[in-house]
Structure 1
Amino acid sequence: MNGDWLIRGRDGRLSVYLTSDDAVLCRAERAPGGPWDGPRRVGGDQRVHPVLAVGHGADGYAHLVSWRPTVKAEAGLVHSVHYRPLLAPLDWAPVGHPDRRGARTGPPAVAVDAEGRAHVFVQDKATGLGMLVQKEKGGWEPWRDLGGKGIEGPPVAVAGESGRIEVYAAVSGGILHWRQEEAGGPPRLEEALEAPVRPGTLRALATSAEHTTLFYTDGSGEVWAWRPGTKPAPLLAAAGAGPVAAIRCALDGHDCTLLAQRSASGRVAFAAYPTEQESAGAWWAESGPQLASDAEVALAVDHEDRVVAATLSPSTGRLLLSRRKDEPVLALTAWQEV
């Protein structure tokens, strides 16, 4: 999955999205902080590939993008919107292919701007970046070629606090960065960072009115933070493989960035530091039981603005949650399966 698959809806309920062999499933709280419903299939009976991108708008709506099979050896992207956790998501709607037609080209990414328009990004067959944007009054603009070449792994897309969209993608020996100059306009390739980045480890977060921060892991296993226009800053050694989960939250009255990752030991590791102050340092602290090797970690804040951590194993469907206690620092409740 690409994006924040643990989401707080506009009614305060949390929901999660997961993939199965031929479907995307969702689960939601029956009431904020209450028990959870069982898995429900997204998009009716349409079959999709086990790939999912999730984007979350300021309006609380979740935008879902996946690939579905079309004719033999080909696929097309589909899009759905989930307005409220206890409502059924909209049926999957086809939105095309960056090369008009062909096989799957790579995992998509999706971000939602200040006007609630979804921006879909995916690698094309030439290993550049293609983009599709919703129109304000329904429908979609034509596919755009954003350039770039040699993309490796999934791109990541994020809406800054201004609502403008930024996109990052790993290439051999570096990272490409696109940014919208104006709302609704095409993101432009602005900067390339030379860095020994591991594809599949990128995570982006809006960290101030001016900046988004990209977290990535380098070839030696170090997690770095990079804000375009500045030099990347080393944070700490990665606790495990894959991207970190990241969220901004208030810890003891301070604006902090909280990271989480499945550690090499199989537990969830957490690290926090003052937002955009990487020089303050960060250290991992592990929590919870040992997880399956494919378990993913996500972070959100609930209806009471408490940090919520979730782990989900695609192979087993096992969902575990923990919430921050009303105590100093980052004390968590016991992990519970829901």
Structure 2
Amino acid sequence: MNGDWLLRGRDGRLTVYLKSDDAVLCRAELAPGGPWEPFRRIGGDLGLQQGPAAVGQGDDGYAHLVSWRQAGTGESRLVHSTHFRPLLAPLDWSPVGHPNGRGDRTGTPAVAVDDRRRAYVFVRNAGGGVSLLVQKERGGWYPWRDLKGSSIQDQLAAASRESGLVEVYAATPERILHWRQEEPGRTPTRDETADVAARPGTLRALRTSAERTTLFFTDQGGELCAWRPGGKPVPLLQAAGPGPVAAVRCEIDGHDCTVLAQRSASGRVAFAAYPTEQEQAGAWWTESGPPLPPAAEIALAVDAHGTLVAATLDPTDATLRVTRRKAEAGLALEGWREV
């Protein structure tokens, strides 16, 4: 899943989302901190294409999911579903079109949600730029909008600020591009560019203050970097492994911290934490848990009690493991347990 696939719903329950070969699956806690239900298929029997899907969450706790489905030989269409509460069934998949009108799959979608509970769907188009589809407040969608750009790599990273204004990051082989929404309801416009090459598939955006987001990515030298438009990318520490990093803000010992997690070269989960937006304070990795298969994904969230939660999910057999921060100083974690 492109986006944070471990989410806390408006009722406090955690939900995980998993893209399988022909479906998106979800699984939720039966009660906050309690046992988990089995995986359920989202959107009925409508089959989806292989490849990543996207998930984004608004401040109302609703999850918006977007994926591609086959629409004939050489033809694909994006579909959308909304999941209002963890233990309710998500809505059936609804077709929302193609950024070029018609054609095959063009890229991995990304989703952000504004303060009006509207989903913003970003995707690379057939011309190598970025296209945007915006949900209407009373149902339906506005026409596709071309945000321009060229040579965009497959993965985009979308996020919304505390104001609900939406932004998106995209990488080319030479630089990172940023689009920013300046007013509610307005189309995001190109803002700033970072002249640094990111490894494909490593972009992760996180809201880190009232009006800023931070983009985490791995550069071509293997350094995990943080970038906030208005400044320059800052090397944070050597990436623990080749995949994307998970990131979340939470309180640790009374301090607003950003916690990062990544599958390390050894296969275990590596954690790091530092004061939010204070990269100069430094960070270092500490490994935890058993070795994971190469395809395993990692996510972070904060539960209904304000406790840091980490989860790993093996897409090959849907094995879900969870740990929580202990009620003691520092970033000490409980033992991992399979749920």
TM-score normalized with structure 2 length: 0.99
Residue identity in the other structure for 1:2: N
Q: How many residues align?
A: 338
Q: CA deviation at 1:27?
A: 0.3
Q: Which runs of 5+ in 1 are unaligned?
A: none
**Separation of aligned partners in 2, 1:315 and 1:106:** 22
1:279 counterpart SS class: helix
Residue identity in the other structure for 1:209: A
**Separation of aligned partners in 1, 2:248 and 2:223:** 19
Residue 57 of structure 1 is matched in structure 2 by: 58
Q: How does 1:141-152 map to 2 (within 5 A)?
A: 141-152=142-153
1:2 counterpart SS class: coil
**Separation of aligned partners in 2, 1:21 and 1:148:** 30
Residue 327 of structure 2 is matched in structure 1 by: 326
Say what the alpha-carbon RMSD is for the aligned residues.
0.7
Residue 290 of structure 1 is matched in structure 2 by: 291
Residue 28 of structure 1 is matched in structure 2 by: 28
**Separation of aligned partners in 1, 2:49 and 2:318:** 17
**Separation of aligned partners in 1, 2:173 and 2:269:** 29
2:280 counterpart SS class: helix
Residue 133 of structure 1 is matched in structure 2 by: 134
1:135 counterpart SS class: coil
**Separation of aligned partners in 1, 2:235 and 2:64:** 32
Residue identity in the other structure for 2:18: L
Residue 163 of structure 1 is matched in structure 2 by: 164
Q: CA deviation at 1:20?
A: 1.3
8 A contact 2:59–2:115 mirrored in 1: yes
Q: How does 1:79-118 map to 2 (within 5 A)?
A: 79-118=80-119
Question: Deviation above 6 Å: which 4+ runs of structure 1?
Answer: none
Residue identity in the other structure for 1:319: L
Q: CA deviation at 1:191?
A: 1.3
Deviations 1:113-172 (A, max 9, x none): 111100000000000000000111111100000011110121110001111001000101
Q: Which runs of 5+ in 2 are unaligned?
A: none
More displaced stretch, 46-55 vs 280-289: 46-55
Residue identity in the other structure for 2:166: I
1:207 counterpart SS class: strand
Residue identity in the other structure for 2:13: R
The percent identity for this pair of structures is: 66
Deviations 1:214-247 (A, max 9, x none): 1111011001111001011110000001211000
**Separation of aligned partners in 2, 1:99 and 1:256:** 41
Residue identity in the other structure for 1:303: A
1:3 counterpart SS class: coil
1:111 counterpart SS class: strand
Deviations 1:25-47 (A, max 9, x none): 00001111110010100000000
Deviations 1:239-266 (A, max 9, x none): 0012110000000000000000000000
1:269 counterpart SS class: strand
Q: CA deviation at 1:196?
A: 2.1
Residue identity in the other structure for 2:31: A
1:151 counterpart SS class: coil
**Separation of aligned partners in 1, 2:236 and 2:56:** 26
TM-score normalized with structure 1 length: 0.99
Residue 227 of structure 1 is matched in structure 2 by: 228
Residue identity in the other structure for 1:162: S
Residue 68 of structure 1 is matched in structure 2 by: 69
Q: CA deviation at 1:210?
A: 2.5
